[in-house]
Structure 1
Amino acid sequence: MANFTPDFTWLKKRPLCFLGFGFGSGLAPIAPGTFGTLPALPIAFFLYLIGISGWWLAVLSMVLFIWGIKICNHTERELGIQDYGGIVWDEIVAMLLVLAFMPFRWDWWLAAFVLFRLFDAIKPWPIKWLDARIHGGFGIMLDDTVAALFTILILKITAWLII
């Protein structure tokens, strides 16, 4: 399927792939990872409004990580393409994890978004190492989760230094 390009019609027939593609956001023709991260923002906003934040959001992120292994495995299988760029469930889940540890303020969320996307795109060690060696749904989910942990660490250090 080297010449296959998924579209919204293809996703509508495959509910797990629809999730894998971040409700369709992974279909973006450029920067699908960045567009795929965006759904995490309104999802987190809604969850914060109904009282799911902090450690509860982190726990939810871990549950979504485990489901994400299945979602991403299934989506890869359906596509016939390994680690396809449009599979963005991992970005959504990782961003939710980052936001679980950020103040509920637009400036922190913007910084978290930008820094997470930077780590996910540049893939410093060990993210690049993990990405190259661990495949399938677990590999897809793992490298973004490590990028999320880097983001949390850097922003927490920054907060500690400026407060």
Structure 2
Amino acid sequence: MNGQRFLSPLDNVAVFIATLGPIGRLPKAPGTWGSLAATAVAPWCFMPLPLPARLAALALVLGLGAWAASRAEEALGRKDPGCVVVDELLGQWTAFAPFHLAGWDQSMPLDLLTLFALFRLFDILKPWPIRAVDRGVPGGIGVMLDDLLAGVFAAGAFALLRLFI
């Protein structure tokens, strides 16, 4: 079983949530696949919500994702396994949260693509303090918080781009 222990039904639920179903199991660059999935569903599941509901959705993803990521780490026997991509959902939606991108106007696809790229950049490079959180906060909450910060950095960079372009 690839070094995994027996998975209880609750472990299976946690791993399913943590991997966003099959998304985290796609070949090569699961974090990018997770971000793409989050971006693809955002115009229907996240962006139409008013800001308070977006923040509530982010809090729900953070709490549920931290639980699922912790349980998945135990079940899979690895710290922050690559197949865990619920953190990319949190980070990507955090990047989208402050902006009105709902509705299919001409700039929406470019804005989504720009925010996607900025989030991936910050998630991969992990500048301070993202790297400090990634290394210093253990368990599922650590898995989630570094991507939350990468999303905040991406939103800030996007706001600056919008200001000057």
Into which bin does the TM-score normalised by the smaller protein fall?
Answer: 0.7 to 0.9
Change (3 A) 1:29 1:83: same
TM-score when scaled to structure 2?
Answer: 0.85
List alignment gaps of at least 5 residues for structure 2: 102-107
1:100 to 65, 77, 97: 97
Which of 119, 124, 140 lines up with 2:122 in the alignment?
Answer: 119
Structure 1 residues 78 and 48: CA distance shift in structure 2, 3 A: closer
Asked whether 1:137 is paired with 2:135, we answer: no
Q: Relative to 1, partners in 2 of residues 1:73 and 1:48: Cα closer, same or farther, differing over 3 Å? A: closer
Pick the aligned partner of 2:32 from 10, 34, 43. 34
Residue 162 of structure 2 is aligned to residue 159 of structure 1 = yes
- The correspondence of residues 52-131 of structure 1 with structure 2, limited to 5 A, is 52-104=49-101, 105-131=108-134
Structure 1: how far apart are the matches of 2:85 and 2:18? 6
- The percent of aligned pairs where both chains have the same amino acid is 31
TM-score scaled by length of structure 1: 0.86
Q: Quick check: 2:46–2:93 contact (8 Å CA) kept in 1?
A: no
Give the aligned length.
155
RMSD: 2.2
